[in-house]
Structures are given as C-alpha cells and as structure tokens.
C-alpha cells in the first residue's frame, strides 16, 4: 500500500474572475445491487495573493456545491491541496497546476496569506546551480501520493542554504517542506518568435528529512 503524503494549502486572496465551468466527474455508487451514477461539476477561477513583496496569481478548481454566491472581486479564505495533471497541448504534454479547493469562505479584514505544507519524495528532475544573482538555486519535482492511486508532481524551488541541503539528498528521499505557492513569468523564443509564459512552483522556506 502506498503512503499518502501531506498536501495542505491555506491562502487568502482576491478572486480575479467570475467562475466558469471546467469539467465534470462521474461518480458511481452501489446501493445493494443497484448502481447509481451521479455527476460532480467543477468550476475554475484565479486567485491573486500578495505576501512578502511577492504577488502571485494561482488557478483554483472548486466543486459547484461549494460556490455559494462567490463572485469576481471577493476576498476569500481557501483551504485545499495543490494538484497537477497533464493534458495534451498540440502534441505536447502540458502540466496543469492549481489549488483544489476543499473549503472556502469570504474574508473581510484578514491579510493575504500563502502557506503550503508538503510531504513527498524527490524525483530525478533535480537541478542545482550557483548563479551570480541568486547564489545557490535548487529546483526539483516533489512526488506526492494521494488516495485513489493518484499522484501529484509539484515543482519546488529553493535558494541559499535550503538549496544546498536539498542538493545533497538522493532521488527518492522523503522530505517535508513548508513554503509558499508562487507564479512567475518567463520568456521563450521559438522560431524567432518571443512569447511570455507562466511557471508555477512552491518556494521552499524550510525542510525536514523524513527517516
């Protein structure tokens, strides 16, 4: 049996758009000998979070039953999990990265909040380097198992001593991290055409190796 890792997110921020339909999930339940099918509808939006001189815009996914009267411009308090899944985008794999909402309510006077707690295993995608601007930088993908045989792959990034510590850990090492969920823009050039893309990651603030 696979160990289910910790995946907790708490954010407070502002809804940027009205909610729009994303997808549906068919739920099959059995009562005695009867099979009953039902649909769970999911809607998407974006939340803007400003903390520690950093402003991030993160995608969120929510069950329709939690929507209530929420709308664009509302400040909301969200508890959830980071989720990732791959889709086919013009014959290329594209990773969708979002907060899966478990609980949400409006927030009036609370400050923006951005806290993440994850527990998972380091993969083989780790990169460690020393740069002139930021010093030591480490990036990797954290693999986190969840229920129903699902797995999330969460990009993480660390700087300074945290980067150096992580660089010394082997693939498959189980760690617990505390951090913040962030978005950042970066430039790409393909066929002499410049474009701006957005990357999503968890910025590591502290690390604990799980024995």
Q: What is the pLDDT of residues 83-135, one digit of tens each?
A: 988 777 777 777 789 999 999 999 988 999 999 999 999 999 899 999 887 79
Looking at residue 46, what is its pLDDT? Answer: 97
How far CA 69 is from CA of 26, 39, 61, 104, 175, in Å, comes to 25, 21, 16, 11, 39
- Mean pLDDT over residues 153-179, rounded? 96
**pLDDT at 160 (0 to 100):** 94
What values do phi and psi take at 41, rounded to 5? -100, 140
The rounded percent of the chain whose pLDDT value lies above 90 is 64
State the pLDDT at residue 31: 67
Burial class (CB in 10 A: 0-12, 13-18, 19+), 130: exposed
Q: How far apart are CA 40 and CA 191, in angstroms?
A: 42
Average pLDDT on 3-29 reads 90
Confidence of residue 186 (pLDDT cuts 50, 70, 90): confident
């Amino acid at each position: 049996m696979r160990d289910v890792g910790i995946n907790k997110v708490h954010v407070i921020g502002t809804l940027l758009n009205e909610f729009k339909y994303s997808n549906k999930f068919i739920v099959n339940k059995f009562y005695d000998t009867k099979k009953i099918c039902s649909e769970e509808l999911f809607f998407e939006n974006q939340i803007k979070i400003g903390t520690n001189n950093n402003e991030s815009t993160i995608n969120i996914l929510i069950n329709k039953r939690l929507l209530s009267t929420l709308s664009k411009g509302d400040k909301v308090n969200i508890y959830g999990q980071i989720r990732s899944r791959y889709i086919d985008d013009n014959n290329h794999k594209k990773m969708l990265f979002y907060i899966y909402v478990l609980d949400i309510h409006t927030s009036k006077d609370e400050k923006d909040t951005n806290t993440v707690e994850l527990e998972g295993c380091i993969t083989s995608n780790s990169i460690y380097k020393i740069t002139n601007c930021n010093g030591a930088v480490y990036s990797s993908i954290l693999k986190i198992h969840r229920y129903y045989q699902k797995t999330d792959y969460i990009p993480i990034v660390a700087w300074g001593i945290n980067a150096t510590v992580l660089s010394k850990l082997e693939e498959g090492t189980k760690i617990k991290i505390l951090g913040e969920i962030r978005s950042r823009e970066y430039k790409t050039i393909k066929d002499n055409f410049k474009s701006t893309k957005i990357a999503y990651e968890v910025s590591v603030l502290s690390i604990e190796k799980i024995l």
